[in-house]
Amino acid sequence: MNHATMISFRSFHTMHVLTPQGFEFRNFPYSAVPDGQWLVCDASASLGSRSVDISKYDVVYCAAHKNFSTSGVCYMIIKKELINDDVLPHTPSMCNWNTFQASAGDLD
């Protein structure tokens, strides 16, 4: 069997606005995203300048330096059901959402 045919993707990635060409999804075809795939959105260009309906996405992230804040700051909004123990071994802590969820109370 050809192993390439067995590959499945967990997420579908899009950008809310693509600034170099000034391209913006105004009527994104949300129904075209296959069931079971996460819809991930890079909303960096929209942060602070356009509204983004975050309820349409499973993960939304924004690089804050794009429009404001310090270089290196990134905001992430993740649906709670995606933060679980299903993490690949050796996942870096900065990419492990459980690490951040578990330490949320430590920030006081």
Q: What is the pLDDT of residues 21-39, one digit of tens each?
A: 666 777 888 888 888 888 8
Residue 3 to residue 56: CA distance in whole angstroms:
32
Would you say residue 20 lies in a domain? yes
Spacing of C-alpha 81 from chain mean position: 14
Q: What is the pLDDT of residues 44-101, one digit of tens each?
A: 877 777 788 889 999 998 887 756 677 778 888 899 888 888 888 888 887 888 887 7
Task: Give the number of domains in the chain.
Answer: 1
**Band (6; pLDDT cuts 50, 70, 90):** very low
For 17, how many CA atoms within 13 A lie in the half-sphere containing its CB?
Answer: 17
Would you say residue 49 lies in a domain? yes
Residue 80 to residue 26: CA distance in whole angstroms:
26
Would you say residue 1 lies in a domain? no
Would you say residue 18 lies in a domain? yes
pLDDT of residue 55: 92
What value does the mean pLDDT of the chain take? Answer: 76
Segments forming the whole domain that contains residue 73: 7-26+34-82
